[in-house]
Amino acid sequence: MDQVMPIPNAVMKLLDLLPENATPYLVGGCVRDWLLGIAIKDFDIEVFNISMDKLIRILSKHGRTDTVGRSFGVIKWTPCKGETYDIAIPRKETKTGDGHQGFDIETDPQLDPRIAASRRDYTINSIMYDLRKHAIIDAFGGQNDLENRRLKHTSDAFSEDPLRVMRGVQFAARFGMCGDSATLELCRSIRNQFNQLPPERLWNEWYKWASQSRFPSKGLQFLADSGWLENFPELAALRHTPQDPEWHPEGNVWNHTNHCCDSLAGEFDWISATSPEDRAVWMFAVLLHDIGKPDTTERTMRKGIERIVSPGHDKIGAKIADLFMKKLKAPNILRARVCPLVSEHMIHLQTITNRAVRRLSKRLEPESIPSLCLVMAADAMGRPPLEPNIPKFIEQLRIQAAELEVLTKAPIPFLRGNDLIEMGLPSGKEIGALLHQAYELQIEGELEDRSQALQWARQCISPRRAYTAKQ
């Protein structure tokens, strides 16, 4: 081959540690990503012609070994600090039950590499790299499928694990791929196995789609073409929900959502974000921003013209989004961040006063106004063939929020409980009520700083103390 794969020294060290008859291959995502020109994060190694016990003995002399995955034929090897590699013995899998985990697994060091590769889900993940010969082993045409951006199952064993369909969703989105027709047909044939999937594994695949997508609509298209969109009725309903053609020439809500997700993935703030969680929050917010439209869309006459409207879809959508993400077993903090963005994405239809901006920053917690602006920009951009146009409102909101010092967080209360206790107010419900009242006045702009808040509190407490003294 023309190019040699860059391999860490610790991995190459294996060649000196292993007996000559043992053959180590790099497998899975690391080979795929290298061929795609993507930075490699993890190096997974499969070693043939050596027993598990012998491999453990060798590796344990040259680093720390974790054998918790031994029943799956996997050893975690840490030759030095900060470097951990999955090293596996080839294995056979026999389907014994339903779902993702219904397998008996047996290691087989003498297994033919082609048979070992055939258990991989997609051909793009079946490519192997021989560490001794520095040569690619591509038994199922994975390189050709990479070049053609085709997502194709490796063998009929694909149907034994329904999770592979959802893996296809995130692969299609990450690498800009379309499903092979035979693969999509196979996916449709196992749609009824959806309920056998562990929710946490399902969430992992959705999270990868949301946090790593370069072409999110490709993943959503794979979900639809595979027939698995129907397993998510909240999303499936978007395909049957029309929109007013004047404002949404792109068609139904599903089409709009796909365009919006792609627009977000092209935004600099999303691309440059270092936090996968941030990217996932924004992508889920865009995916679900119109999730309330199927329940609120109606036809009405305005000025003699029939219009399609969806009043209140933002607020109703926030509740549906929360339930949807709850079913996906999304972490509570992520749900708490996504739902306010869905709820407030139509804020541009309101007149934004200083008071309104302060209140908005509070309603968005634990999210922030820049995140909302990103979601609103994606929403505005997701309407081809209309010319790309980000409303001036978004930048104005940013500027106004920055001037009010609420761009990244809600106003910090001027008044604290200890302040009221020091003024002689006994702890209890009265303190909470007074703090709430003070914060409302702060949001309204009637209390402009801490000194005003303290003065206001003294004036409120003095009559109370006088009344108590009379009693």
- Cβ atoms of 324 and 202 within 8 Å: the answer is no
Question: With pLDDT > 70 as the criterion, what percentage of the chain qualifies?
Answer: 96
What pairing do the DSSP bridges indicate for beta strands 178-179 and 150-151?
A: parallel
Q: List all residues 6 or more positions away from 309 whose beta carbon is below 8 Å from its beta carbon.
A: 244, 297, 298, 299, 300
H-type alpha helices, 266-391: 268-272, 276-288, 293-296, 313-327, 332-343, 354-364, 369-381
Confidence of residue 426 (pLDDT cuts 50, 70, 90): confident
The secondary structure element, H or E, covering residue 194 is none
**Model confidence pLDDT, tens digit, residues 27-38:** 999 999 999 999
Structure tokens at 292: 């309330």
Q: What is the pTM of this model?
A: 0.91
Give the integer Cα–Cα distance in Å for 201 and 208: 11
Query: What are residue 455's phi and psi, to 5 degrees?
Result: -60, -45
Domain boundaries, the chain: 1-148, 276-411, 417-470
**Model confidence pLDDT, tens digit, residues 207-223:** 999 999 999 999 999 99
In the CATH scheme, what is the homologous superfamily, with its name and number, of domain 1-148? Beta Polymerase, domain 2 (3.30.460.10)
**Model confidence pLDDT, tens digit, residues 326-381:** 999 999 999 999 999 999 999 988 888 999 999 999 999 999 999 999 999 999 99
DSSP 239: G
Q: Is the confidence at residue 128, as pLDDT, over 60? A: yes
Q: Is the confidence at residue 412, as pLDDT, over 50? A: yes
- Cβ atoms of 114 and 82 within 8 Å: the answer is no
As a whole number of Å, the end-to-end CA separation of the chain is 95
Q: Do you know the residue count of the chain?
A: 471
Nearest to 261, CA basis, from 311, 307, 200, 206: 206
- Cβ atoms of 15 and 24 within 8 Å: the answer is yes
Residue identified by tokens 């990450």 is: 174
> Radius of gyration (Cα) for the chain, nearest Å?
28
